[in-house]
Amino acid sequence: MDVTYRTPAGIEAESMRIIGEELAMLGLAIPAEREAVVKRVIHTTADFDYAASLRFTEGAVQRAVAAFQAGASIVTDTNMAKAGVSKAALAKLGGQVLCFMADPEVAAAAKARGDTRAVVCMEKAAQEHPGAVLAVGNAPTALLKLCELMEAGLRPALVVGAPVGFVNVVESKERIFEACERYGVPCVAAMGRKGGSNVAAAICNALLYTALDAVDPARRGEKLT
């Protein structure tokens, strides 16, 4: 068996070529400014449904890229999403990735109130990092809380809405997308039931690489050294 592609950069580049080819075969034309995000999510999941289910508010990519270039940080709702974000790319731009799910104060507050940790995490993010990118890959309750917080005045740099599952998942994504449009907050959401921490991280990484002009994996090596 001939294994042609052996390096990480070579494997990624060939994967992206295949994804582009198969999107064309399916008759799916992705707008240029959204292509890096859509392809990276498909690369992460091998699921072409995301070509249709990923929704973007107007100018979301450009505004998110500008926020990262200005040093915006990321707050996630899971440590898995936090682990998946490129720390090197984010550090190069002056940001950091945070998750408060394991914070003892968050756990205590959630237990005392009979609420989810994800809700308290978003409250903490709003208080301590109001201009951050808020990436939700697991908890619909986090998105519903963000709707409330935006109604009260929160304006994050970007909301990534990508919970996965069956309860409140579809509804929470629809609500957050509508809220972001209403309040002028950039949003990228994986509509429907599909999503996950890996999808949230993939969206963030695509935007980070775009901000660094390093979508091409060969070029990324130069940019991150």
Catalytic residues: 43
Helix/strand/coil for 199:
helix
**End-to-end Cα, the chain, rounded Å:** 34
- E-state strands within the chain: 54-56, 74-76, 97-99, 133-136, 158-161, 187-190
DSSP labels for 108-122? HHHHHHT--HHHHHH
Q: Cβ(204)–Cβ(135) under 8 Å?
A: yes
In whole angstroms, give the CA distance from residue 53 to residue 105: 36
Q: Cβ(90)–Cβ(208) under 8 Å?
A: yes
